[in-house]
Amino acid sequence: MYRPFLAEMGKDRLAIAVDTPGYGGSDAPPAPTDLDAYAETLTAVLDELALDEIDLFGAHTGSRLAVEIAHLRPRQVQQLILFGAAIYTEEERAKQKVTFAQPKPVEADGGHLAKRWTGWAAWRWPGVTDDMIGRYAADSVQDFERHWWAHQAVFEHDMAARLAHLEQEVLVLCTKDDIEEPTRRAREVIRHGRYVERLDWGHWFLEVDPRGAAALAREFYDA
């Protein structure tokens, strides 16, 4: 989903996307782990690339990773944009753990694949194509045995406490998606920065409107 956005942002700065361990093209950790371990792995990438100062952009799980990297590297990380920064109630957290943070059975008739498609398709909005939905659905079953590992880490992470202690400038972006309401709560805990609501955007907005997304990012990062 980042490719069109990277092309836009890369016109006037170095823009890099990193696959979380166990997802995309990255090797998986040997066992389920926590957000700290994921974040430490990504800081090793920063060291390998020898980047002195960076801005971060995180989406959903990536927002939590961005927050943890900012805590680990307070001088290196300048600003953060968090697309979806969910702060869950205990009831919501318990429900999410049951829904997302445990393995799902493989169904002999392929029903588990159809459920992935229909689950993502439910969030279609104008401009979202079947190809976009298909990529999300395919990514979510690429490693079916381990797809839930990062979710497990997410639901043990205290976004409210971690976000409230960040010294960097933060922009929390809330869109029309499955964590809209939990993300709204983040505006009450941001120390430095601002909250932006774009309910005309949803999942895939980085592909549907990469220029608009890049314009918002540049305005914040360059202020």
Phi, psi of 133 (to 5 degrees): -60, -40
CA distance 36 to 18: 16
Burial bucket for residue 170 (CB in 10 Å: 0-12, 13-18, 19+) = buried
The string of DSSP letters for 132-197 reads HHHHHHHHHTTTTTTTTHHHHHHTT--HHHHHHT--SEEEEEEESSTTHHHHHGGGGT-SSEEEEE
**Would you state the pLDDT for residue 106?**
86
Residue with tokens 């976000």: 163
Mapping DSSP to helix (H, G, I), strand (E, B) and coil, where does residue 123 land? coil
The string of DSSP letters for 192-219 reads SEEEEEETT--TTHHHH-HHHHHHHHHH
Do 213 and 5 contact (CB within 8 A), yes or no?
yes
* pTM passes above 0.75: yes
**Would you state the pLDDT for residue 214?**
98
Nearest to 199 by CA among 173, 163, 217, 160: 173
**Would you state the pLDDT for residue 73?**
96
Per-residue pLDDT of the chain (223 residues; tens, 9 = 90+): 899 999 999 999 999 999 989 888 889 899 999 999 999 999 999 999 999 999 999 999 999 999 999 999 999 999 999 999 999 999 999 999 999 898 888 899 999 899 999 999 999 999 999 999 999 998 888 877 888 999 999 999 999 999 999 999 999 999 999 999 999 999 999 999 999 999 999 999 999 999 999 999 999 999 9
**Would you state the pLDDT for residue 134?**
94
Put the strands of the sheet holding 77-83 in their side by side order.
Answer: 54-59, 77-83, 169-175, 193-198
Nearest to 26 by CA among 128, 158, 150, 182: 150
**Would you state the pLDDT for residue 24?**
85
Do 208 and 127 contact (CB within 8 A), yes or no?
yes
Do 124 and 178 contact (CB within 8 A), yes or no?
no
DSSP 8-class letter at 75: T
